Amino acid sequence: MIETGPIILDIALVLIVAGTLGYLARKAGLPAILGYLFTGLLVSPFTPGYVTDAEQITLLADIGVAILLFEVGIEINIRRITGEQRALIWSPPLQVLVGLIGGTAILYYGFGISIFGSLLIALSIAMSSSVVIVNITRSTRRTTNPETEDALLGWSIIQDLFGVAIAGVILAIFQNNDQPIYNGILKLIGFGFVAIVSAQLMKFILKQVRWEKDLFLIYSVAIGLILSGIGAVFFEIPVALAAFVSGLVINQNRDTEEVRKSLLPFRDLFAVFFFVVIGSLIKFSFFSEAIPYIFAFVLLIVLLKTLPVFLLAKTAGIRAKPLQLGIGLSQIGEFSYVLGGLALARKEIDEIQFTALIFALIISIILSTLLVRLKKFAIS
Listing DSSP states for 36-97 in one string gives HHHHHHHT-TTSSS----HHHHHHHHHHHHHHHHHHHHHH--HHHHHHH-GGGGTHHHHHHH
Q: What CATH architecture applies to the domain 53-377?
A: Up-down Bundle (1.20)
Three state DSSP letters for 321-354: CHHHHHHHCCCCCHHHHHHHHHHHHCCCCCHHHH
Percent of all residues in the chain with a pLDDT value above 70, rounded to a whole number: 82
Whole-angstrom distance, CA of residue 93 vs CA of residue 126: 10
Whole-angstrom distance, CA of residue 371 vs CA of residue 364: 10
Q: What is the pLDDT of residue 301?
A: 96
| pLDDT, average across residues 122-147 | 87
Q: Report the sign of the C-alpha dihedral through residues 191, 226, 258, 207, in that order.
A: positive
Percent of all residues in the chain with a pLDDT value above 90, rounded to a whole number: 27
Vertex 111 angle, CA 109 and 112, to 5°: 65
The four Cα atoms 78, 82, 87, 90 give a dihedral, to 10 degrees, of 30
Whole-angstrom distance, CA of residue 323 vs CA of residue 353: 30
Q: Is 128 helix (H, G, I), strand (E, B) or coil?
A: coil
| pLDDT, average across residues 50-59 | 62
pLDDT at 139 over 60: yes
pLDDT at 185 over 80: no
Residues 267-294: pLDDT tens digits? Answer: 777 778 888 888 887 888 888 999 999 9
- Which range scores top for mean pLDDT: 8-12, 57-61, 168-172, 293-297? 293-297
